[in-house]
Amino acid sequence: MHLTDGFDRTFKYLRLSVTDVCNFKCQYCLPDGYKACAGPRPLSLDELRRVATAFSELGLSKIRLTGGEPTVRKDFTEIAQTIAALPNVETLALTTNGYRLAERALEWKSSGINAINISLDSLSRGNFHHITGHDRRDEVMRGIDAAFDAGFEVIKINAVYLKGINDHEIDAYLDLAKDRALSIRFIELMETGDHASFFQNHYISAEVLKTKLANEGWAPVLKTSSAGPANDFIHPDYQGRFGLIAPYSKDFCKSCNRLRFSSLGKLHLCLFGEFGVPMRQLLQHDDQIPELKERIQKAVHGKTANHLLKQGKTGITSNLSLIGG
């Protein structure tokens, strides 16, 4: 079975948020830190299992656990084990800020996670502290080493590309991929409802990096059907890869293959959409899964052709942790 929309795009990849809580204070997302609000609790383990089951039965073979910071949940390992056990899930991935990775890498690998993305917005200890609000750069670097030791099949480093903050560190990031099979990906800063002025001050087009890579002998790689939004580049002198995620680029949405499900039970067809489709009422019993699948199919068929970021329309996304990035 394949899940498709009205533009013949096929969806193989689900970003499943397990919490909107994050313990970092990144300037581009939660500069004042996470603020708890009264309201419903995040999806339970059983609710998450039903979400993953429905999507896997609809042909999605890759699920990424996101947040917030997903590993702040005390039952995170159990969540991973439960979803990894589903028969159609070929790739279970995790995006994390890495604060617990050094001590938990082997545990999470054993739970069934086989791909990991680690947010690392600066290689400088002081600059890392400035961006994230935490002096944990060395912790995260130890976590990367632990991920290699644990035997993860795919290890990626994510950095948001920030003019005047970390754009001078590109060569240092490239050096990380020199002798290890590490994928470094720079992500264009995206405007959100809460941080319009930060975007205006620090946005820089990924085209700058693309030109640099081309001038230094990096060649583009053909994407696979289940790959994320990054355009990857390889170099004969490097074991690793360098990737660019450029949501402001032409035709970025044309190859969209991913959907998002929030920790409060809403299907988000686009990170910058105007609404989420409520589905939590269909997550209460296993016998609701067929109806849930029908609701998902109907919603996905109505997905729009593209976001409107270039027009400054950020939808309901006030910050990236709210939906799962």
Q: Is residue 108 part of a domain?
A: yes
DSSP state of 178: T
pLDDT at residue 308, rounded to an integer: 52
Q: Is residue 320 part of a domain?
A: no
Q: What residues pair up with 159 in beta bridges, in sequence order?
A: 186
pLDDT at residue 225, rounded to an integer: 62
Q: Is residue 209 part of a domain?
A: yes
Q: Is residue 266 part of a domain?
A: yes
Q: Is residue 317 part of a domain?
A: no
Q: Is residue 322 part of a domain?
A: no
Q: Determine the Cα–Cα distance for residues 70 and 93; give it in Å rounded to an integer.
A: 11
Question: Which residues in the chain show pLDDT less than 70?
Answer: 193, 225-228, 250-252, 272-274, 306-325
pLDDT at residue 68, rounded to an integer: 92
E strands of the chain, at which residues? 3-4, 10-11, 13-17, 62-66, 91-96, 115-119, 154-161, 183-188, 219-220, 231-234, 241-245, 258-261, 266-268, 277-278
Count: domains in the chain: 1
Contact 269, 262 (CB under 8 A): no
Long-range contacts from 28-34, C-beta under 8 angstroms, 24+ separation: 28/131, 28/160, 28/162, 28/189, 28/195, 28/198, 28/199, 28/202, 28/320, 29/192, 29/195, 29/319, 29/320, 29/321, 30/319, 30/321, 31/133, 31/195, 31/198, 33/133, 34/68, 34/321
User: Where in the sequence is the domain holding 141, given as residue range(s)?
Assistant: 3-311
Q: Determine the Cα–Cα distance for residues 118 and 255; give it in Å rounded to an integer.
A: 24
Specify the CATH number for the domain of residue 276.
3.20.20.70
pTM confidence score: 0.92
pLDDT at residue 113, rounded to an integer: 98
Tokens 């109806």 identify what position?
291
pLDDT at residue 250, rounded to an integer: 62
